[in-house]
Amino acid sequence: MIEVEGLTKRYGATAVVDDVSLRLPEGRLTAVIGPNGAGKSTLLSMIARLMKPDTGRIRVAGLDVASTAGEVLARRLSILRQENHITARLTVGDLVAFGRFPHSGGRPGPEDARHVAEALAALDLAPFRDRFLDELSGGQRQRAFVAMTLAQDADCMLFDEPLASLDIRHAISMMELLRDLCRNKGKTVVLVLHDINIAANFADGVVAMKDGRIEAVGDTGEVMTGERLSRLYGLPISVERNGGSCIVNYFRSRD
Amino acid sequence: MPPETILPARRHALPPGLIVLALAAVVLAASIAFMTVGVKGNWAYVLELRGRKLAAIVLVATATAVSTILFQTITGNRILTPSIIGFDALYALLQTVLVFFLGAGRVAAFDPRLLFLLEAASMLALALLLYRWLFLGERRSLHLLLLVGVVFGLIFRSITQLLQRIMDPNEFVVLQDRLFASFNGVNPVLIGMSATAIGLVGLAIWKRRFVMDVLLLGREPAIGLGVDYRRLVTLILVLVSVLVASSTALVGPINGFEPISFYGVLVANLTYLLLPTFSHRFLLPAAAMIGILLIAGGQLVLETLLGFDSAVGIVIEFAGGLVFVFLLLKGLAR
């Protein structure tokens, strides 16, 4: 469960996140969507205490983010940001093992080894375990970072654009994996997504943001309507439901 | 499922623990050789003299190596050393001001313990003042700190040079002698004081050897993994300052007050080359031992065996300079 109350972040006169209040119940996969500069990443960063809000309160799994010790919070909350540059030369296995740091304090036990192996397997990375990160493709590296976040095994997992540079097969299998974590392990997963088709088909709930404010929040079916999305992105968009899947079409209505 | 291209894993390096042990054996052998090779006459006298010299070398090498590795870990940069903040420049300024205003004779008559404390304290004060600039809350502040440090260093160097230009030439000769690291005739009381400081800092660092690895991931991932980033980085900077201050106050600036210590760069990068690991629990002891080997081994070979006088510093700085240029070119080529 993530609760956000009256959250604001300003740079100079412009509010990047403007008085946002939210409740994200546990066991659900929530997608945060919206145009560039909507404040999605900033919101995620503040929830994960990477950035201090100017005003507002955040509670994750009942813990106040501003006052809880970092190491306690790290066992309940994990975040993966969009850009990850590491100057040290690490192997995929090293990186994923870092995800266990909040639990192992740097001295991994058998339980940690099991989590690392599971995370590597879940992201198709077992054969790459001993490869250095700088020898991987962008998509493989991205999966390694996701595996590290999974190994952290927190109740709430935040991902900023986790599908960046993934091919379709890996994007879909990662979304299935995350949905499975919500359904079967009761995790709360929050994703910033640019691919609104993926959001429409995998998310339980959607938070639509624009100009630092929340435009709409609710179940995916409610929020993802042609009218709402058209207004959100300033582009004619139609939503077609076709059996079990949902296609957000932003091409057809252009001609 | 379509297989992805998998290159064969290349990992046939020795385990880092073994390399550290081997290094320890080499350092031990080198120390024995350093103490005993070419002893003529009174053994007790020579051993005492060389023992003091070796102790000073061990302290300075350890402090420089450990502080450089830690500084590179928190800055995420492999060619920086703590001297960029201007420690050495401040040391030179302090010496110059003392000699200029009090005269070389009176400075030489100072209680060395007092001078040591004064030097160490003022370098620490500079560091702490600089760290007040360190608002690690948001990004880039570490770079701001480095820039401010560079500017401070420039100011210190300019004042130093001005004072040296208008100084009595005789005093200047005495001053110059004080401005270069010398391991000869170091006061045993100062060795004790500096060993205590470096030992305590060493313990504080060893206690945090695991969390320092997490810093290699950078600020955001480290915070995500529960590290109190701002506090830890500030603490490391303070510990680094104590190391640099106590080693510089002991023998003088190892790099002859240039803005970059090639010796530190050389030691740190030899360590990374020799130990293919990111773990500070291996890197830190290995770096300290490589540092000792470079100075003690260098002195042994160049001075005792080949008979060159105090050429080690020059050779090390030259080799370090080459490594520095190599690293720059490698960085450009990437």
Mutate to test the interface with B, among A50, A83, A125 (most CBs of B within 10 A): A50
Best residue in A16, A101, A115, A131 for a mutation probing chain B (most B CBs within 10 Å): A101
Q: Write the residue in A81, A101, A131 that is nearest to B220 by C-beta.
A: A81
CA distance A110 to chain B (A): 18
Q: How confident is the model at residue B160 (pLDDT cuts 50, 70, 90)?
A: very high
Look up residue A91 and give its DSSP letter.
Answer: B
Evaluated on CA atoms B158, B163, B165, B170, the torsion sign reads negative
Is B76 within 8 Å of A71 when comparing Cβ atoms? Answer: no
In angstroms, the separation between the Cα of residue B248 and the nearest Cα of chain A is 29
Question: How far is residue B181's CA from residue B170's CA, in Å, rounded to a whole number?
Answer: 20
Output phi, psi for B231, to 5 deg. -65, -45
| Domains located in chain A, CATH noted | 2-249 (3.40.50.300)
Query: CB–CB of B86/B152 below 8 Å?
Result: yes
Give the per-residue pLDDT at B8.
Answer: 47
* Average pLDDT over chain B, rounded to an integer: 84
Q: Are strands A205-210 and A29-33 parallel, antiparallel or unpaired?
A: parallel
| Cβ-contact B334, B202 below 8 angstroms | no
Cβ–Cβ pairs < 8 A, chains A and B = 85
Chain B interface test: which of A67, A87, A130 (most B C-beta within 10 Å): A87
CB contact under 8 A, B209 and A105: no
State the Cα–Cα distance between residues A201 and A199, nearest whole angstrom.
Answer: 6
Higher pLDDT, B196 or B310: B196
Question: What are phi and psi for residue A106, nearest 5 degrees?
Answer: 95, -10
For residues B310 and B326, give the distance between their C-alpha atoms in angstroms, rounded to a whole number.
26
* Residue, of B309 and B182, whose pLDDT is higher: B182
E-assigned strand segments in chain B: none
Alpha-carbon distances, residue A60 vs A3, A5, A53, B184 (angstroms): 6, 12, 15, 60
Give the orientation angle of helix B16-36 with respect to helix B280-292, to 10 degrees: 20
Using CB atoms, which residue from A49, A84, A85 is nearest to B223? A49
- Which of B210, B203, B252, B63 has the alpha carbon at shortest distance from A104? B210
Q: What is the pLDDT of residues B247-284, one digit of tens each?
A: 888 887 765 445 457 888 899 999 998 998 899 999 99
If you average pLDDT over each of A82-86, A95-99, B120-124, B184-188, which comes out highest? Answer: A95-99
Nearest-CA distance B205 → chain A (Å): 15
Cβ atoms of residues A220 and A197 within 8 Å: no
Between CA B303 and CA B313, with CA B309 as vertex, the angle to 5 degrees is 85
A118 burial (CB, 10 Å; 0-12 / 13-18 / 19+) is: middle
Nearest to A127 among B6, B138, B213 (CB): B6
Report which of residues B134 and A19 the model is more confident about: A19
Percent of chain B's residues with pLDDT above 90: 34
pLDDT of residue A19: 93
- Which residues of B fall within a CB distance of 8 Å from A52? 137
Answer whether A42's CB lies under 8 Å from A51's CB: yes
pLDDT of residue B332: 59
